[in-house]
Amino acid sequence: MRTTTLASADFRALGCLVRLVVTDPDHLDACRYLLELDLAEVDEACSRFRPDSELVALDGAAGRAVPVSPLLLEALAVALRAAELTGGDVDPTVGSAMDALGYDKDFELVERDGKPLRLDVRPVPGWRKVRLDQVYGTVTMPAGTRLDLGATAKAWAADRAARMLAAASGCGVLVSLGGDTAVAGPPPEGGWRIRVQDITGHPDEAPVGPHTTVAIRDGGLATSGTSARRWRRGGQELHHIVDPRTGQPARTPWRTVTVAAATCVDANTASTAAMLRGESAQEWLTALGLPARLVAADGTVRTTAGWPCEEAGAAA
């Protein structure tokens, strides 16, 4: 049996570690070039932290229809679809709540231990108040609404990049954006082996905390959790998964939830919603037929039917 030779490249974009793996080393440089261009466009359209991004420009456009680029229109449609599929658990109108919690810049720049905050419990504006007009390419939002596409944008960008690069190169491609992983094209022998862990790290380095390795052949894999992006304000522990019903960090029994799905964005949508659904998450994921691995706060691991066989060893 011929062994596939994998080639990889790592760099940073969208505020996270990007890993690109291809099954034909001759295409690595070209694929990296195309991926960097593509992610730069996504960042310019969708970043909550760039003052010159299209998304931030919507902050001052309350109550009127604003034309947006096809790229941002697609990203917004993906975010609103996620909200609808999860009954509002994954809601893109949490931007102001994120800011109020202190997550108002790229996470690497967020102060890890700051002054106390007044944390008011109030629901976010709500995704149903965001109106997209696909014909005219416009978006309308009410006053006081700030969008955050963090729950869907990286996963969506990974999906579209993997498909684009596989079509351009004709080889198998894996794109991971901060752990949101999409694959496309012919997989390597045995599938794409991916390490699942509490805190995203470089696959060539020793993992931090509990971990396992699984293999997938298509679609995507995503992990949501409260272990990695945490900070303190006045001694209070905060994290980045916000409950839209309160505008506060979600109270959840899960440390991480990892889901495999037909696309990375569906995997990340489900894993984020599962964090918010708490004890009912396993039943909900099972009803949807989604393979998942749920790690409780005490380290107990539960899986749903169809979760890939776990392996030992290195991962892509």
Q: Return the ∠ at Cα 82 (arms to 78 and 87), rounded to 5°.
A: 150
pLDDT in tens, 252-303: 999 999 999 999 999 999 999 999 999 999 999 999 999 999 999 888 899 9
**Residue 1 pLDDT more than 50?**
no
- In the chain, the domains with their CATH numbers are 1-316 (3.10.520.10)
The more confidently predicted of residues 41 and 300 is 41
Residue 13 vs residue 248, higher pLDDT: 13
pTM assigned to the model? 0.90
Query: For residue 281, how many C-alpha atoms fall within 13 Å in the half-sphere facing its CB?
Result: 29
Q: What is the pLDDT of residues 145-200, one digit of tens each?
A: 999 999 999 999 999 999 999 999 999 999 999 999 999 999 999 999 998 877 66
The mean pLDDT of 196-224, rounded to a whole number, is: 79
Task: Name residue, tokens 């991480």.
Answer: 256
Per the CB < 8 A criterion, the answer to whether 239 and 226 are in contact is yes
